[in-house]
């Protein structure tokens, strides 16, 4: 499976308005295509998982990651941006 150009973004922290909007706006700005998204709120705690395709982005993985981490800092949320391969390798036989 070609997952080198797929990224998983995981966002977690205290729920507040505009989290999804700010993250997805940033993704759009960096030409990252959202292929799947899941979110849930548990006892006021927000968690979002997002699968993005970076094949059509003119930005590097590092630039995209830095931009998303910056949003995390602004909103005081924990943001992880990882290539999807690590999950495919770890959890699939």
Partner 1 sequence: MFDAESILETINMIKVNNLDIRTVTLSLSLRDCANNDIKKVGENIRNKILKYAKNLYCYASEIENEYSIPIVNKRIAVTPISLVGESSKDMDYVYLAKILDEVASEVNVDFIGGYSALVEKGFTKGDLALIESIPEALSSTNKVCSSINLASSKAGINMNAVLKMSKIIKNTAEMTANEDGIGAAKLVCFCNAPNDNPFMAGAFHGVGEHECQLNIGVSGPGVVSAAIEKLPKDADFGTLANSIKKIAFKITTTGELVGRELAKKLNIPFGVIDLSLAPTPNPGDSVAGIFKAMGLEHAGACGTTAALAMLNDAVKKGGIMASSYVGGLSGAFIPVSEDALMIDAVKRGCLTFDKLEAMTSVCSVGLDMIAIPGETPSDTIAGIIADEMAIGMINKKTTAVRVIPVPNKKIGDMAIYGGLLGEAPIMKVNTLCSSGFVNHGGQIPAPIHSLNN
Of 14-22, 24-32, 60-68: span binding partner 1 (CB under 8 A): 60-68
Considering the rule CB under 8 A, would residue 67 count as an interface residue with partner 1? no
Considering the rule CB under 8 A, would residue 26 count as an interface residue with partner 1? no
Considering the rule CB under 8 A, would residue 84 count as an interface residue with partner 1? yes
Distance CA(3)–CA(25), nearest Å, equals 23
Least distance CB 93 / partner 1 (angstroms): 8
Considering the rule CB under 8 A, would residue 38 count as an interface residue with partner 1? yes
φ, ψ for residue 62, nearest 5 deg: -60, -45
Considering the rule CB under 8 A, would residue 5 count as an interface residue with partner 1? no
Residue among 19 and 65 whose Cβ is closer to partner 1: 65
Distance CA(22)–CA(63), nearest Å, equals 17
Distance CA(3)–CA(86), nearest Å, equals 9
Out of 2, 62, 74, 76, point to the residue binding partner 1 (CB under 8 A): 62
Structure tokens, 11 = 């966002």
Hey, which bits of 1-63 come out as E strands? 6-14, 33-42, 45-53
């Amino acid at each position: 499976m070609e997952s080198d150009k797929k990224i998983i973004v995981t966002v977690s922290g205290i729920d507040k308005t505009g989290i999804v909007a700010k993250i997805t706006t940033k993704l759009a700005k960096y030409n990252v295509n959202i292929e799947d998204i899941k979110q849930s709120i548990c006892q006021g705690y927000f968690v979002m998982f997002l699968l993005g395709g970076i094949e059509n982005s003119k930005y590097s993985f590092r630039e995209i990651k830095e931009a998303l981490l910056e949003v995390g800092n602004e909103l005081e949320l924990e943001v992880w941006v990882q290539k999807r391969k690590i999950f495919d390798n770890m959890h699939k036989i």
